[in-house]
Amino acid sequence: MWAGASTVHGGLDDEELRAHGLARDDVMDFSSNVNPLGTSRLVRKAAAKADLSAYPDRQSLDLREALSSRLEVGVDEILVGNGSTELIHLLARMCLGPRRRCLILGPTFGEYETAATLAGADVHFVEASAARGFAWSVDAATQAIENVRPSLTFLCNPNNPTGVYVDRDFVKRLTTAIGRDGLLVLDTSYVPFAEAPWDERSLLTCGNVVLLRSMTKDHALAGARLGYLLAETTTVERVRQLQPSWSVSAVAQAVGLAALTDDAHVTAARSLVVEAKAYLHAQLSALGLRVLDSAANFVLVRVDDAGELRRELLCRGIAVRDCASFGLPEYIRIAVRRPDDCALLAGALREVLRRG
Ligand SMILES: Cc1ncc(COP(=O)(O)O)c(C=O)c1O
């Protein structure tokens, strides 16, 4: 069994599709949260031009330099990874081990727990409740930090799957409580879709913060695998020493560089997400479903039995995320796609709910 096998994710699973007599092209995927406009033309052209015959640069230097000038962060404060997932696992290996403790603000992305467990750590959670719209209490979170004294804390912002987006003060309170004996990983994978984002870079001066960014969501590069982290130079160097050589392919580096020149694609996607999210909200609310407010490009929706509903929709060629693996068996997560696609989803949901 490979390491990732224990984490449940959205996205299409070929074995399951075949069991339903479906192929990938038969299914409209609302279960993975990538840019609804897909991969940009400019990026696809860069992928086609990448040199497949030579080993890629092990340091992703061109890409780090491009990120550095764009983000005004030192080249040595950036580490590129094979998706942010690789970096999550490397950070867990670096900070955790037997008798070390990891704190996770949940319910959230499952890979944090998997990485911490594989590293042999004790895993603790601060769980947000449905009654509070899944907003964490900052007092409960800082208290948990005092009690657990974690070496590594994970906070996803905006959070997957709830869409909750905490402000800078919330994060500062956590970094202060963590102190210099621990590290806070702030996963900002979905910030590019937030309407009113705040700039996290000033947190780097705290010295105990790692900012984690994925390029697979905003630029629709999930198949290419690309992410990076920003942190103090010494932290970057420690994580880098754990990274296998050539883990970021030549194609990933080439598409990453091209993506950085294509802001317009992400800006267009963000506007589309705002429009389609409002539409989805209205349509699903009219069906009597509770749709939670979300700062990201997905929404959490309360249903009776998420597993059953997901199966019914899949038979109709629509994939949504059953949130049982997040500990939320009464919720589905829906990625925001183009309004036309959202209309098809709303229609299918109407049909399934009427039959039920
Ligand atoms: C919050 C969060 N972080 C990280 C990832 C992993 O992204 P990547 O494709 O960069 O490995 C995901 C993927 O779903 C995610 O939801």
Residues 134 and 275 grouped into a single domain = no
User: Which pair of structure tokens corresponds to residue 47?
Assistant: 């992928």
DSSP letter for each residue of 317-356: TEE-EEGGGGT-TTEEEEE---HHHHHHHHHHHHHHHHH-
Asked if the structure places residue 3 within a domain, the reply is: no
Distance from residue 356's CA to the centre of ligand 1 (Å): 33
Percent of the chain with pLDDT over 90: 92
| CATH number of the CATH domain containing 343 | 3.90.1150.10
Tell me the C-alpha distance between 248 and 59, whole Å. Answer: 9
Does 246 share its domain with 276?
Answer: no
Cα dihedral 273, 275, 277, 278, rounded to 10, equals 160
Contact 269, 34 (CB under 8 A): no
Which residue lies with its CA nearest to atom 3 of ligand 1? Answer: 189
pLDDT above 90: residue 84: yes
Q: Which of 259, 293, 319 is the last residue of a domain?
A: 259
Kindly state whether residue 227 falls inside one of the protein's structural domains: yes
Instruction: Point out the ligand 1 atom lying closest to the alpha carbon of residue 10.
Output: 14
User: Which of 214, 236, 259 is where one domain is finished?
Assistant: 259
- Ligand 1 pocket: which of 30, 86, 160 to mutate (most atoms <8 Å of CB)? 160
Tell me whether residue 1 is in a domain: no
- Answer whether residue 341 shows pLDDT above 50: yes
- Token digits of residue 93: 């290996």
pLDDT greater at residue 290 or residue 25? 290
Task: Tell me the residue range of the domain where 29 lies.
Answer: 9-39+263-355
Pick the last residue of a domain from 238, 259, 280.
Answer: 259
Average pLDDT, rounded, for the chain: 95
Is 2 inside a domain boundary?
Answer: no
pLDDT band at residue 318 under the 50/70/90 scheme:
very high
In this prediction, residue 25 has a pLDDT band, given cuts at 50, 70 and 90, of confident
How deeply is 245 buried, as exposed, middle or buried, from its count of CB atoms within 10 A (0-12, 13-18, 19+)?
Answer: exposed
CB 146 within 8 Å of CB 123: no
Shared domain for 106 and 216, answered yes or no, is yes
- Between CA 68 and CA 230 the distance in angstroms is 10
Residues 104, 251: one domain?
Answer: yes
- Residue 134 forms part of a structural domain: yes
Residues 21 and 55 in one domain: no
Q: What is the pLDDT of residue 9?
A: 86
Q: How many domains does the chain have?
A: 2
Q: Is 294 in the pocket of ligand 1 (CB under 6 A)?
A: no
Q: What's the pLDDT at 2?
A: 41
In the predicted structure, residue 345 carries a pLDDT above the cut 60 = yes
pLDDT at 11: 83
252: domain CATH number is: 3.40.640.10
| Residue 4, domain member (yes or no) | no
DSSP string, 225-255: --EEEE--HHHHHHHHTTSPTT-S-HHHHHH
Task: Output the pLDDT for position 3.
Answer: 41
* Cα distance between residue 138 and residue 196, in whole Å: 21
Q: Are 151 and 170 members of one domain?
A: yes
Same domain, 115 and 214: yes
Residues 237 and 138 in one domain: yes
* Sign of CA pseudo-dihedral 265, 267, 268, 269: positive
Between helices 83-95 and 111-118, what is the axis angle to 10°? 40
Give the mutation target among 86, 87, 89, 109 for probing the ligand 1 site: most ligand atoms within 8 A of CB.
109
pTM of the full predicted structure? 0.95
Do 314 and 228 belong together in one domain? no
CA distances from 70 to 63, 192, 259, 260, 308 (A): 11, 15, 12, 8, 45
Q: Is residue 103 part of a domain?
A: yes
Same domain, 181 and 304: no
Distance between CA atoms of residues 312 and 236, nearest Å: 46
* pLDDT tens-place string over residues 190-242: 999 999 999 999 999 999 999 999 999 999 999 999 999 999 999 999 999 99
Assess whether pLDDT exceeds 90 at residue 319: yes
> What's the gap in Å between 220 CA and the centre of ligand 1?
12
Pairing mode of beta strands 122-127, 101-106: parallel
Ligand 1 proximity of 161 Cβ (cutoff 6 Å): no
- Answer yes or no: do 201 and 319 share one domain: no
Tokens representing 126? 């601060």
Residues 6 or more apart whose CB falls under 8 angstroms from that of 209 comprise: 171, 175, 183, 184, 186, 203, 231
Percentage of the residues of the chain whose pLDDT score is greater than 70? 99
Per DSSP bridges, beta strands 290-291 and 298-302 are antiparallel
Q: How far is the CA of 350 from the centre of ligand 1 (A)?
A: 30
In angstroms, what is the span from residue 20 Cα to ligand 1's centroid? Answer: 27
Which residues lie closer than 8 Å to 24 by C-beta, 6 or more apart? 12, 14, 17
Which one of 104, 111, 255 would you pick to mutate in the ligand 1 pocket, going by the greatest count of ligand atoms within 8 A of its CB? 111
Let me know: does 338 contact 48? Beta carbons within 8 Å: no
Contact 28, 345 (CB under 8 A): yes
Residue 219 domain-assigned (yes or no): yes
Q: Is the CB of 216 under 6 A from ligand 1?
A: yes
Amino acid residing at 306: A
The 10s digit of each residue's pLDDT in 279-303 is: 999 999 999 999 999 999 999 999 9
Q: 227 and 298: one domain?
A: no
